[in-house]
Amino acid sequence: MNGKSSKKKVNYAKWGYIFILPFFVTFFIFSFIPLVDTIRYSFFEYYRSGLKEIGPNFVGVHNYKELFTTDLPKYASNTFILWIIGFVPQIIVSLLLAAWFTDARLKIRGKQFFKVVIYLPNLIMAAAFSMLFFTLFSDSGPINSFLVDHGIVDGPIRFMATVGGTRGLIGLMNFLMWFGSTTIMLMAAVMGINPSLFEAAELDGCTHRQIFFKITLPLIKPVLGYTLITSMIGGLQMFDVPQILTGGAGTPDRTSMTLIMYLNSHLSSKNYGMAGALSVCLFIVSAVLCFFVYKMMNSNDLDGSKAAAKKAKRERRGAKAS
Partner 1 sequence: MKLKKSTVREIIVHVVLAFLAILCLFFFYILIVNATRTHLDLQKGFSFLPGSNFMANLKNVLNDANIPILYGIGNSLLVSAGCAALSTYFSAMTAYGLYAYDFKLKKPAFAFIMMILVMPTQVCALGFLRLVTGMHLNDTLVPLIVPAIAAPSVFYFMYSYMQSALPMELVEAARIDGTGEFRTFNSIVIPIMKPAVAVQAIFSFVTSWNNYFVPALVITSKKKQTLPIMIASLRSADFLKFDMGKVYMLILIAIVPIILVYLFLSRYIIEGVALGGVKE
| Binding residues for partner 1 restricted to 126-145, rule: CB under 8 A | 126-129, 131-136, 138, 140, 142-143, 145
From 1, 3, 7, 18, residue interacting with partner 1 (rule: CB under 8 A)? 18
In the complex with partner 1, the residue whose CB is nearer, 31 or 305, is: 31
Contact flag: residue 165 with partner 1 (CB under 8 A): no
Which element (helix H / strand E) includes 165? helix 163-191
The neighbour count for residue 74, using CB atoms within 10 Å, is 14
**Helix axis angle, 163-191 relative to 221-236, nearest 10°?**
150
Give the nearest distance from C-beta 287 to partner 1 in angstroms: 8
From 6, 49, 70, 268, residue interacting with partner 1 (rule: CB under 8 A)? 268
Residue range at the interface with partner 1 (CB under 8 A); choices 30-38, 51-59, 159-167, 211-219:
30-38
- Cβ atoms of 281 and 169 within 8 Å: the answer is no
The DSSP-derived string for 67-104 is: HHHTTHHHHHHHHHHHHHHHHHHHHHHHHHHHHHHH-T
Contact flag: residue 117 with partner 1 (CB under 8 A): yes
Contact flag: residue 275 with partner 1 (CB under 8 A): yes
**Helix axis angle, 126-136 relative to 142-149, nearest 10°?**
30
End-to-end CA, the chain = 56
Give the nearest distance from C-beta 295 to partner 1 in angstroms: 10
From 68, 217, 286, 303, residue interacting with partner 1 (rule: CB under 8 A)? 286
From 91, 176, 215, 224, residue interacting with partner 1 (rule: CB under 8 A)? 176
In the complex with partner 1, the residue whose CB is nearer, 22 or 318, is: 22
| Binding residues for partner 1 restricted to 182-211, rule: CB under 8 A | 184-185, 187-188, 208
Burial pattern 79-113, b for ≥16 Cβ within 10 A else e, equals bebbbebbbebbbebbbebbbebbbeeeeeeeeee
Contact flag: residue 80 with partner 1 (CB under 8 A): no
From 43, 64, 226, 262, residue interacting with partner 1 (rule: CB under 8 A)? 226
In the complex with partner 1, the residue whose CB is nearer, 35 or 61, is: 35
- Cβ atoms of 78 and 257 within 8 Å: the answer is yes
Contact flag: residue 161 with partner 1 (CB under 8 A): no
Residues contacting 312, CB < 8 A, separation 6+: none
Give the nearest distance from C-beta 319 to partner 1 in angstroms: 36
In the complex with partner 1, the residue whose CB is nearer, 82 or 263, is: 263
- Cβ atoms of 64 and 42 within 8 Å: the answer is yes
- 48 pairs with which residues across the strands? 53
- Cβ atoms of 145 and 157 within 8 Å: the answer is no
Give the nearest distance from C-beta 111 to partner 1 in angstroms: 9
Contact flag: residue 262 with partner 1 (CB under 8 A): no
Contact flag: residue 222 with partner 1 (CB under 8 A): no
